[in-house]
Amino acid sequence: MSSTRQQPPDQSTDRTSDAERVDELLRPEKPTEVFRWVVTVVVLVLLAWGLSADIKWSRLLEAPGEFATIVRLMFRDPDWSALPGLLSAMWESIAMAWLGTVIATIFAIPLAFLAAENLVPGWVAFLTRQVFNVLRAVPEIILAVVFIPIFGLGPQAGIMALGVGSIGTLGKLCYEIIEGLDDGPIEAADATGATGVQRLRWAVVPQVLPELASFAMYRFEVNIRASAVLGVVGAGGIGGLLAQYIQFKVWERAGLALVVVVLATILVDAISGRIRRRIIAGPDGTGDVDGDGLPDDLDPDERARLTTDPVGGGAGLS
């Protein structure tokens, strides 16, 4: 920028033209702003259209006051007698998330073989992928709604909802791994005269397991968030109590329930995050030690992939 500075030409020229000339000489030209304007206008039009919905705006004014009152009622005098029940309901949510993840993994692996373009004809892979896409798009809670008549009220329906809902994301990851398998170890195993099982055990599993395990753990974290609310529709876990306390305004218990959910989520995230870091970074790997307190400490590639791909199945990604 400082390269082409020239002597001010003539003292007598008036100030504005001086400034103009300096500007001309030193400043890079501003990029055209057409795109920015188009985006701004589109966003504003969309916003206006959205806000034209049938909304009772007067209620919005009451919200901050209500919010303050509710927060005060929630945390001023929590009803500790509800804690044991809440903790066991939270554990049920965690257990549901775990089983859901296990079931999803069991189904995702064989399905992923049907979606790998290097193993099956193109159209089979395409169809299987569309199944994954559909499963990814449906929120677990909707699955729970349609599963309850089948599996009855309670955790069974919730587990199946989480399991089926996670097949999409886990399956997608699995076929990506399968398509990216390194042939080297497999050829090496073949060269030693390994049997099919041995080849699988020594050449394929070690390549697949770390990434799969790490991603399944990540999915477990996502599923905990989902399973904490499945109870809202009657599919087991802490969501049922939570919905009941909030809808009937039992605030001194609802506050406690919220705290339990938030703390349990953060705790499981932290533990699971450490395990994932250990899996990806290895025993002496330092992983991500930037100390910025991010719970998601995958390596950059993994993170980039997670953040730019639609991973979440709906309720609470991230």
Partner 1 sequence: MSATAPSRRVARPDEPPPSRFGVAMGVLFVVMTALSVVSTGFSLDGIIEDLGRRNDSISGLLNIDLSVITSTRTLTAFVETLQMAVVGTIIGGAAALPLALASTEVGARTTTVRWLVRAFNNVVRAIPDILWALLFVAMVGIGVLPGLLALVFFSIAVTTKLTSDVLDGIDLGPVEAADATGAAHVAKLRTAVVPQILPAYSSFLLYNFELNLRASAVLGLVGAGGIGTRIEFYRSAGRWPEVWGIIVLFFAITFVVERLSIMFRRRLV
User: What is the footprint of partner 1 within residues 222-261 (CB under 8 A)?
Assistant: 225-226, 228-229, 232-233, 236, 242-243, 246-247, 249, 258, 261
> What residues numbered 2-41 form the site for partner 1, per CB under 8 A?
none
CB of 12 to partner 1, least distance (A): 30
Pseudo-torsion of CA 231, 232, 233, 236, nearest 10°?
Answer: 10
Kindly tell me which residue out of 9, 25, 66, 180 binds partner 1, with binding defined by CB under 8 A: 66
The SS3 of residue 192 is: coil
Q: Which stretch binds partner 1 (CB under 8 A): 107-115, 121-129, 133-141, 179-187?
A: 133-141
Distance of CA 15 to the CA centre of its chain: 57
Rounded to an integer, what distance in angstroms lies between the CA atom of residue 302 and that of residue 46? 34
In this structure, what DSSP letter does residue 234 have?
T
The SS3 of residue 287 is: coil
CB of 143 to partner 1, least distance (A): 9
203 binds partner 1 (CB under 8 A): no
Kindly tell me which residue out of 24, 53, 196, 301 binds partner 1, with binding defined by CB under 8 A: 53
Token code pair at residue 74 = 């929630």
208 binds partner 1 (CB under 8 A): no
N- to C-terminal Cα separation, the chain: 41
Phi and psi at 29, nearest 5°, equal -70, 140
50 binds partner 1 (CB under 8 A): yes
CB of 77 to partner 1, least distance (A): 18
CB of 104 to partner 1, least distance (A): 13
Which CB sits closer to partner 1, 150 or 191?
150
Phi and psi at 290, nearest 5°, equal -75, -5
In this structure, what DSSP letter does residue 33 have?
-
47 binds partner 1 (CB under 8 A): yes
Rounded to an integer, what distance in angstroms lies between the CA atom of residue 226 and that of residue 25? 58
Which CB sits closer to partner 1, 14 or 61?
61
Rounded to an integer, what distance in angstroms lies between the CA atom of residue 226 and that of residue 220? 10
Which CB sits closer to partner 1, 10 or 50?
50
128 binds partner 1 (CB under 8 A): no
Q: What is the number of residues in the chain?
A: 318
CB of 10 to partner 1, least distance (A): 27
Which of 181, 180, 177 shows the shortest CA–CA distance to 215?
A: 177
Q: Which stretch binds partner 1 (CB under 8 A): 12-20, 77-85, 166-174, 275-283?
A: 275-283
Rounded to an integer, what distance in angstroms lies between the CA atom of residue 24 and that of residue 317? 49
Q: How many CB atoms lie within 10 A of CB 72?
A: 12
Which CB sits closer to partner 1, 99 or 170?
99
In this structure, what DSSP letter does residue 29 have?
P
Kindly tell me which residue out of 137, 188, 270, 289 binds partner 1, with binding defined by CB under 8 A: 137
Which CB sits closer to partner 1, 119 or 299?
299
Which CB sits closer to partner 1, 17 or 68?
68
CB of 11 to partner 1, least distance (A): 27
**Interacting residues of 121 by C-beta distance below 8 A, sequence separation 6+:** none
Kindly tell me which residue out of 52, 121, 122, 286 binds partner 1, with binding defined by CB under 8 A: 52
> What residues numbered 171-200 form the site for partner 1, per CB under 8 A?
198
CB of 13 to partner 1, least distance (A): 26
Give Dmax over CA atoms of the chain in angstroms: 92
59 binds partner 1 (CB under 8 A): yes
